[in-house]
Structure 1
Amino acid sequence: MNANEKIQTVLDRSVAEYGVPGIVAEVREGDRTWFGTAGVSDTETGAPRRAGEFFHTGSSGKAFTAATLLGLAAEGRLSLDDAVNRHLPGVLDVNGYDGEAITVRHLLGNTGGLFPTGLAPEVSYRYATRSGMDRHRFDTFTTEELLRVAVSQPPVGAPGERFCYANGGFYLAGAIIEAITGRTYAEEVERLVIGPLGLTHTWVRGVKETGYPEPHPRGYSHQFLKDGADPGAVTPENWQSLMEEPGLPALDVTELNSSLGYAAGNVVSTTGDMIRFLNAIVSGELLPAEQHRQMWTTVSTDGAFWMPHTRYGLGVFEFVPEATGGRELRGIGGSFWGTYFFAVGTPDGRHTIAAHTNTEWKSWDPMFQLIEAEFGVAIGG
């Protein structure tokens, strides 16, 4: 069985065994390209998934934010070791945080001690249940509101102490981009990343956007708490026990305002454009050598509520060599209601796989199985 056949087997299994409505995978290796699908883009019509579909890339948008700030650093507009207070005076000086001790680098590397923003009651009480999602799916968040959410709970550690995945750090990073340039976050991502790479099917979603151009899959979510569960009681340790029981019908969340993502992840793209983006940031094509080195200087994620067998850079990750038999693999990825995406490739930018499901993250297994099928490495095995 060749690599393409192995990937197709994983795609079919993802639908049959993991309850994914539809999944696509695209591969580029030198001059070789391959695209495969399984399942459907629309459960009512049965329309199949297809190439060129637009989708929300989830936290993959963090890499766009990091690349933009690194581009500004290359222009001499800031240093990653600047204290946050230098650019956002006083914003972090609340609830036990210290805007003089937390740096831009801490924000981009999830090492600033900020709490996991998704657990903030201001967020979880709106979206944690099906009824809440239906009431609030078109709510918009301003940057000022998101900055308040970012520091609404006390720190989980000292700056630089450990990795803790926190959207709030990227909210602050987006606000720093706007403070430095006097332009919107979306405009600077376009100027420094999207435009230079020719990503003609990629953009930062507008604050009022709630849908997608054609073609696009419909998005389906099971990411809800049980009826009666208290969102305020959710922790990284107990969240799985509070989730809905399997077997309930998915909720169609295609039409959804995603301003909550902001600079932590609100980019729309295609598998083809995202492969182009990943290849540019892993190979050093996009950034000067010093900024490229900083993007890929990584920290351990051991013990964190995040993907196993990885280290985290600035908006990006790499697998630890012990988990891949020494094979170097770097990537980006993210989940949002009704969508999950990842892209993983070699550091030379010549061999990459990207995949998308029209439901959120359910298990690491399909991702790891696709990587094994394409690269011949069993993650963690």
Structure 2
Amino acid sequence: MAANEKVQRVLDWSVAEIAIPGIVAEVKNGDQTWFGTAGVADIETGSPRVPGEYLHTGSSGKAFTATTMLALEAEGRLSLDDTVNTYLPGVLDVDGYDGDKITIRHLLSNTSGLFATGLAPEVSYRYATRSGFDQHRYDTFSTEELLRVAVSQPPVCAPGERFEYSNGGFYIAGAIIEKITGNSYADEVDRRVVQPLGLTHTWVRPTTDTDYPTPHPHGYSHQFLKDGADPATLTPENWQSLMEEPGLPPLDVTVLNSSLGYAAGNVVSTTGDMIRFFNAITTGSLLPPAQHRQMWTTVSTEGGYWMPHARYGLGVFEFDKQATGGRMLRGIGGSFWGTYFFAVGTPDGQHTVAVHTNTEWKSWEPMLEIIEAEFGVSVGA
């Protein structure tokens, strides 16, 4: 069976068996491009998913932040081993953190010791339940508020000790970019990533935006706690047991303010633009060799309650070669309410698949099935 037929089967299975409302995959293999869909863009109208849709790319935006920071290093305006206090004195000197010990590299590699930001009470009490989400979906977070959220819980470990996925580290990185350049984070990403690559359908979403241009899929979510569950008891270990019961209809979360993403992931794009961006950062065509090597110098994610069989670089990941039979596959990805995106491909940029679902990822299984279908690699088998 042709590879594209295999991917199409996984897309169809994801809708039929995993209950993903709509899913698309775009594949670039050499000079050939293929686009496949399953399910719908809008549950009410039944309209199909189509090429060129505008998508919230979730934590894939972390790679834009890391690329911008590395470009600044290449210009000599900073070093990844500079401490946070060099640029934002005092921001991290609270609740057991030490801004003289946490470096920019720690922030971008999720090894800063910062806690998992999504578990902050300021976030979970607003969005953890359906009623809370509806009440707060238009809330706007300023950079100052996000910096406070980033350190609102104690450290989980010493800087550099281990991987712990934390949006807060990227909030701080975004603030450092703004402090060094005197420009907004969005403007710097546009200047250093979007414009050089000609990403005409890509931007950092303004804090005033609550919807998307046409065409775009509706976003649907089941990412809520059970009725009566206390968000204060939420931990990386128990969150799955506290989620709402299956069988409830999804909540349409298309219209919302996504300023909570900031430099941790608030980029709107298309699958085509994201393939172009991913191929640029995986091949090294956007950054000088020294910065490219740093982006792809990875740490183990074991024990960090993150994606299985992966190692993390600076806003990017690689699958552990032991899990792929020795084959190198790199990726970016992430989710937000009602959206999940990932791109995975070979380091030479010749073979890449980009996938989007209009709900948060329900399990890692569909992603790993698509990778096996497209690349012939059974990750973790």
In structure 1, what is the equivalent of residue 305 of structure 2? Answer: 305
Matched residue, 1:193: 193
Q: Summarize deviations over 1:170-221 as a string: whole Å, max 9, x none.
A: 0000000000000000000001001000000000000111000000000000
Cα separation, 2, equivalents of 1:79 and 1:194: 23
1:320 match: 320
Using the TM superposition, give the Cα deviation of residue 289 of structure 1 relative to its aligned residue in structure 2, in angstroms. 0.2
Per-residue Cα deviation, 1:64-93 (whole angstroms, up to 9, x for no partner): 000000000001110000000000011000
Q: Which runs of 4+ in 1 moved over 3 A?
A: none
Pair 1:347-2:347 in alignment: yes
Provide the rounded CA distance (Å) in 1 between the counterparts of 2:290 and 2:279.
18
Once residues 205 and 63 of structure 2 are traced to their aligned partners in structure 1, the CA distance between those partners, rounded to angstroms, is 15
Separation in structure 1 between the aligned mates of residue 231 and residue 24 of structure 2, nearest angstrom: 33
CA deviation string 1:333-352 (max 9, x = no partner): 00100000000000001100
Structure 1 residues 254-297: Cα deviation after superposition (integer angstroms, max 9, x where no partner): 00100000000000000000000000000000000000000000
Q: Distance in 2 between matches of 1:353 and 1:271?
A: 9
Scaled by the length of structure 2, what TM-score is found? 1.00
**Over the residues paired in the alignment, what is the CA RMSD in angstroms?**
0.4
C-alpha separation in 1, matches of 2:213 and 2:374: 30
Aligned to 1:331: 331
Identity, % of aligned positions: 78
In the alignment, structure 1 segments of 5+ residues that lack a partner are: none
Per the alignment, residue 244 of structure 2 pairs with 244
Amino acid in structure 2 at the alignment position of 1:164: E
Q: Which residue of 2 aligns with 1:27?
A: 27
Determine whether 1:130 maps to 2:130: yes
Structure 2: gaps of 5 or more residues: none
Q: 1:75 & 1:45 partners in 2: Cα distance?
A: 50
User: Aligned letter for 2:380?
Assistant: G
1:359 and 2:359 matched: yes
In structure 2, what is the equivalent of residue 260 of structure 1? 260
Q: Distance in 1 between matches of 2:173 and 2:111?
A: 13
- Residue equivalent to 2:37: 37
1:1-381 alignment runs, 5 A limit: 1-381=1-381
C-alpha displacement at 1:304, in angstroms? 1.3
Give the distance between the partners of 2:73 and 2:188, measured in 1 at CA: 13
C-alpha displacement of 1:361:
1.3
Q: What per-residue deviation string (whole Å, max 9, x for no partner) do you get for residues 210-252 of structure 1?
A: 0000000000000000000000100011101100011100000
Report the residue type matching 1:245 in the other structure: E
Partner SS for 2:318: strand
Look up the equivalent residue of 1:285 and give its one-letter code.
Answer: S
Structure 1 residue identity aligned to 2:206 = G
Instruction: Report how many aligned residue pairs link the two structures.
Output: 381
**Deviation digits for residues 300-339 of structure 1 (CA, Å, limit 9, x no counterpart):** 0011110000000000000000111111000000010000
